[in-house]
C-alpha cells in the first residue's frame, strides 16, 4: 500500500512539473533585416514577444552625412521608449553629435524627452516625435516583410573563397542574386573584405539578395545597439 501511494505521489509530482509553464525563450522571436536607400544603409534588429512588438534597434550609415543608431521598446502594441544617438556632418557647423531619449505613455504621448546637440539641451518638436513613432512602425513592417521572403541580415568577412559570418559559421558556396559592378566583383575576388548583405544562409551555402556594405577586412562586425 505504501509503495502504491509513493508511486502515485511521484507520478502526480511529475505531471505537475511537466504542466508548469516554463519562462521559456519560446515567447520571443528574433528577426534581422536591412536595406540601402539612396545614401543610407540600414541594419535592423527586431524582437517579438508572443507575436507582439517587444524591442528593436537600427544602425544607419549615411556616408558623408553621418550615422546614427537607435533602440525602441514597446509595451503591448504601443511604443513606450525611444533612444537615438549619432553624428551629423553639416556644411556650416561641421560634425554635430546628438542624443535623443523619449518615453511615451500608454496613449502614445511623450511624458519624458531629452534632446542634446553638441551638449546643448533642445526641445523636441511634436512632428519629430510622430516621426520617431512612424519609423518604429516602418522598421517592424520592413523586417517582417523581409522575413516572409526568407531574408535576414548577414555580416562577416570574405577572403575571396570563404565567408566567415560574425557568428563564426563558414560558407564557401556564395550565390549573388543581384548584378554587381565590376570593381566590386574584382575586390571580392582579390581583397579580404568585411561584407554585410540581405540574404539567407543554409547548410549548403549563402545567398546574397542585396549587398549592403563592403569595407576593409579589418572592419569589425557592427553589433546590435544597446542604448536602453
pLDDT per position as a tens digit, 118-159: 999 999 999 999 999 999 999 999 999 999 999 999 999 998
Residues 185-225: pLDDT tens digits? 888 877 899 999 999 998 888 999 999 999 988 899 999 99
> Looking at the predicted structure, is the pLDDT value of residue 13 above 80?
no
Handedness of CA 126, 131, 132, 137 (dihedral sign): positive
The answer to whether the CB of 119 falls within 8 A of the CB of 113 is no
Q: Which residues contact 167 (CB under 8 A, 6 or more apart)?
A: none
Calculate the average pLDDT of the chain.
88
Q: How far is CA 213 from CA 40, 54, 167, 188, 196, in A?
A: 11, 27, 17, 12, 5
Cell of 84: 537615438
Spatial CA neighbour of 55 closest among 74, 82, 27: 74
What is the arithmetic mean of pLDDT over 95-116? 97
pLDDT confidence of residue 24:
57
Task: Indicate the domain borders of the chain.
Answer: 25-148, 152-216
What is the arithmetic mean of pLDDT over 175-179? 84
Lookup result for grid cell 528593436: 56
- Judged by average pLDDT, the poorest of 3-7, 57-61, 127-131, 201-205 is 3-7
pLDDT confidence of residue 161:
86
Amino acid at each position: 500500500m505504501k509503495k502504491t501511494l509513493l508511486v502515485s505521489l511521484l507520478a502526480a509530482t511529475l505531471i505537475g512539473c511537466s504542466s508548469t509553464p516554463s519562462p521559456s525563450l519560446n515567447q520571443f522571436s528574433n528577426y534581422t533585416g536591412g536595406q540601402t536607400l539612396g545614401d543610407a544603409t540600414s541594419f535592423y534588429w527586431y524582437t517579438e514577444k508572443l507575436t507582439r512588438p517587444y524591442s528593436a534597434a537600427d544602425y544607419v550609415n549615411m556616408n558623408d552625412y553621418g550615422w546614427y543608431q537607435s533602440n525602441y521598446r514597446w509595451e503591448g502594441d504601443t511604443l513606450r521608449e525611444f533612444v537615438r544617438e549619432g553624428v551629423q556632418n553639416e556644411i556650416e557647423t561641421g560634425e554635430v553629435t546628438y542624443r535623443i531619449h523619449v518615453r511615451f505613455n500608454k496613449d502614445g504621448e511623450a511624458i519624458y524627452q531629452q534632446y542634446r546637440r553638441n551638449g546643448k539641451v533642445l526641445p523636441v518638436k511634436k512632428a519629430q516625435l510622430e516621426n520617431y513613432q512612424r519609423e518604429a512602425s516602418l522598421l517592424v513592417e520592413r523586417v517582417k516583410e523581409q522575413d516572409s521572403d526568407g531574408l535576414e541580415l548577414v555580416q562577416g568577412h570574405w577572403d575571396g573563397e570563404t565567408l566567415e559570418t560574425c557568428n563564426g559559421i563558414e560558407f564557401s558556396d556564395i550565390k549573388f542574386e543581384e548584378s554587381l559592378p565590376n570593381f566590386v566583383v574584382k575586390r571580392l575576388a582579390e581583397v579580404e573584405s568585411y561584407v554585410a548583405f540581405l540574404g539567407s544562409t543554409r547548410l549548403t551555402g549563402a545567398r546574397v539578395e542585396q549587398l549592403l556594405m563592403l569595407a576593409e577586412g579589418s572592419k569589425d562586425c557592427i553589433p546590435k545597439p544597446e542604448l536602453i
